[in-house]
């Protein structure tokens, strides 16, 4: 998700409200409580200025709603029973990748490593030094005895090479200081 995930979370909550309510109803055992929790989730989102680093909006929104439902039980003047807590947490989505995602990521990394191995040596060196070792481009130029322009060109060519062969644009981080 984007760096400030707030607008995307709001849109996701609105567009997938029925699905989220259904999932939350299964956890809470009550459609009214689920609706109240989602309403409170919307209000919580409205009161925030910025939310960063949300990878899975459904998991995030459900976690917020479950926490708000738990808070509501506490406000009713009685502590939640262990069974109610288990019901709230039951089936909580695990944010870590599953076996299929891990296998897909490993396969993609192996393909990328094979592509990098096929690059000309200097291009490969520049890519590794800038992207994996996080060296500034000026330092890479000095270490390799080439101009900054050469490092910039080799880095761009490395990105283009990988993107063309992987069949999609690469998520390239912003360039470090030059």
Query: Which DSSP symbol is given to 167?
Result: T
State pLDDT tens for residues 102-129. Answer: 888 888 888 888 989 999 999 999 999 9
Query: Which DSSP symbol is given to 133?
Result: S
5 vs 133: which has the higher pLDDT: 133
State pLDDT tens for residues 40-51. Answer: 888 887 777 666
State pLDDT tens for residues 61-80. Answer: 888 888 887 777 667 666 66
Cα–Cα nearest to 67, from 53, 80, 77? 80
On whether the pTM is more than 0.85, the answer is no
Domain boundaries, the chain: 6-89, 99-166
Pick the CATH number of 99-166 from 3.40.50.300, 1.10.10.410, 1.10.10.10, 3.90.330.10: 1.10.10.10
- How does DSSP assign 4-73, residue by residue? S-HHHHHHHHHHTHHHHHHHHHHHHS-HHHHHHHHHHHHHHHHT-S-----S-HHHHHHHHHHHHHHHHH
């Amino acid at each position: 998700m984007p760096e400030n995930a707030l607008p995307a979370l709001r849109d996701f909550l609105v567009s997938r409200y029925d699905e989220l309510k259904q999932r939350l109803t299964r956890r809470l055992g009550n459609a009214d409580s689920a609706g109240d929790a989602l309403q409170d989730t919307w209000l919580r989102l409205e009161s925030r200025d910025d939310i960063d680093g949300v990878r899975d909006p459904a998991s995030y929104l459900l976690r917020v709603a479950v926490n708000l439902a738990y808070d509501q039980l506490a406000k009713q003047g009685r502590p939640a029973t262990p069974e109610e807590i288990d019901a709230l947490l039951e089936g909580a989505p695990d944010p870590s990748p599953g076996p299929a995602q891990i296998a897909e990521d490993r396969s993609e990394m192996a393909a990328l490593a094979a592509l990098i191995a096929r690059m000309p040596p200097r291009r490969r060196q520049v890519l590794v030094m800038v992207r994996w070792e996080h060296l500034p481009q000026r330092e890479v130029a000095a270490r390799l005895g080439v101009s900054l322009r050469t490092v910039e060109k080799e880095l761009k060519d490395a990105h283009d090479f990988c993107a063309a062969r992987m069949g999609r644009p690469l998520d390239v981080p912003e360039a470090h200081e030059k």
